[in-house]
Amino acid sequence: MANSPSGDSMIDRLVRVLASFDPDHQSLGAEEIADRADLPKSTAYRLITDMMRHDLLQRDPTGRIRIGVGMWELSNRASDAVDLASVARPHMMAVHEFVGENTQLGILREREVLIIERMSAPNAVIHRSKTAGRLPAHASSCGLVLLAYAPKHVREAYLRGPLAAITEKTTTDPAELRRMFASIRSHHFAELSGHIDEGTTGITVPVFDAGGLAIAGLGVVIDSEHRKGVPAIMRALRTASARITQDLAAEDTVSTG
């Protein structure tokens, strides 16, 4: 793969173009992409043109550039995350219908939680997580669950990194986070209020694969007034998590049978 004069490969530059887009920047102008991807304008224009030819990028009705349908097609062909979301979706729907708020499924990626499925409602509390969006792991109930069940060396490596405060309630003290991890492993859930968005509470339980490995967090984000009691929400989440695990085990049996 040919390198640029700066030493980065074509793949590096393609990834930076795609990474220019995020939930807050879903459409961009070509010069904005060049700036956000740290590329010369001529290089950015050339890459954008090539990527549009393969439907990796596309123009919206206003002429701005968005992620193209080709990326959606590629990501849906052979992704464990897509398979997991597909298995989880009907059980998430049951939780969503019961709670009437936001229901989401997340996986751990580096220092962030990647939301791979999300369901909401018109009157649900507003919060910042979106499908394909990312949240700091230490500031979200889903991230805390996944870190709590991760190997110790993964947790400790995370705690040695930057622990930014999103709100004044965000826990950034490593010793306190270790205590929270221990509590989560004892009680099998995490509940956080106001750590990412004021006025919201996140409640998450782990989702295990057939081998007992915590592979995702299934949770809700609700108004902190708790329209439904936490114990009832916990029962709904745990029931859904157990059924997702059962369905994953059944799929494994079919695929290896």
| pTM for this predicted structure | 0.74
Contacts of residue 31, Cβ cutoff 8 Å, sequence gap at least 6: 41, 44
Tens digit of each residue's pLDDT (9 = 90 or more) over 15-43? 999 999 987 888 999 999 999 999 999 99
For residue 228 the two structure tokens come to 């439904």
Separation of alpha carbons 125 and 199, rounded Å: 9
Tens digit of each residue's pLDDT (9 = 90 or more) over 68-125? 878 876 766 656 777 899 999 999 999 999 998 899 999 998 899 989 999 987 777 7
The two beta strands, 65-67 and 102-109, are unpaired
Q: What are phi and psi of 77, to 5 degrees?
A: -85, -40
Only one residue has tokens 């939930």, namely: 23
Structure-derived torsion over alpha carbons of residues 75, 80, 86, 89, reported in degrees to the nearest 10: -110
Tens digit of each residue's pLDDT (9 = 90 or more) over 36-65? 999 999 999 999 999 999 989 999 888 999
